Amino acid sequence: MIKNKNMGFFSNIISATIKTALTPVAVAKDVVNVVTGEEADATKKLLESAQDDATEAMDNLGDGEV
């Protein structure tokens, strides 16, 4: 995923919120991946990306980039 360093606080918070809301979809994908013998990492990747967005949002807030 390409990170846009200029997204700003609100964009990053919205992105993190949407990714968190999509977690059940990622869990379902992981279940299918396990059943088909593939690696189940969709949930982990999604939540790590949401965490990165939330961290970036806090950094932007501290920098005054609202």
For residue 47, give its domain range. 9-61
pLDDT in tens, 8-35: 889 999 999 999 999 999 999 999 999 9
Asked whether residue 1 is assigned to any structural domain, the reply reads no
Q: How confident is the model at residue 5 (pLDDT cuts 50, 70, 90)?
A: low
Q: What is the pLDDT of residue 2?
A: 47
Residue 57 has pLDDT above 80, yes or no: yes
Secondary element (H or E) of residue 3: none
Number of structural domains (the chain) is: 1
CA distance 6 to 20: 21
Average pLDDT over residues 31-57: 95
Is residue 2 domain-resident? no
The per-residue pLDDT for 63 is 74
Statement: residue 6 has pLDDT above 70 = no
SS3 label, residue 9: helix
